[in-house]
Amino acid sequence: MNETLSKLLVAALHDEEIKSALLSTRNAADPSAAFCECATSLGYPVTVGELFTMGEEFNEAMLRSVNGGGVEGPDGWDDAYEMFFSALES
């Protein structure tokens, strides 16, 4: 997760209105876009492209950190969007 999403997560964990607004985006026709619009309106600018890039970069860094390189990353670790909501709901 990048710095912007980390700050948004902290804010959402401390403010029920922010948390509720973010969780409600999951019911949108395009949840990722709705999440990004909501986050940006709250002062935490993020785009759908950044969400996908974050996850890919994290997963690739994990695989590079293994001696000889990993073959496959853990399922779901390349999805920053889902990881954000997993942290928010736990």
Q: Which residue has better confidence, 64 or 54? A: 54
Mean residue pLDDT across the chain: 82
At 13-54, the pLDDT tens digits run 999 999 999 999 999 999 999 999 999 999 999 999 888 777
Map tokens 């999805």 to a residue: 79
CA angle 80, 85, 87 (to 5 degrees): 95
Separation of alpha carbons 36 and 68, rounded Å: 36
Q: Percentage of the chain surpassing pLDDT 70?
A: 71
Are residues 50 and 58 in contact, defined by beta-carbon separation less than 8 angstroms?
no
Ranges of each domain in the chain: 3-89
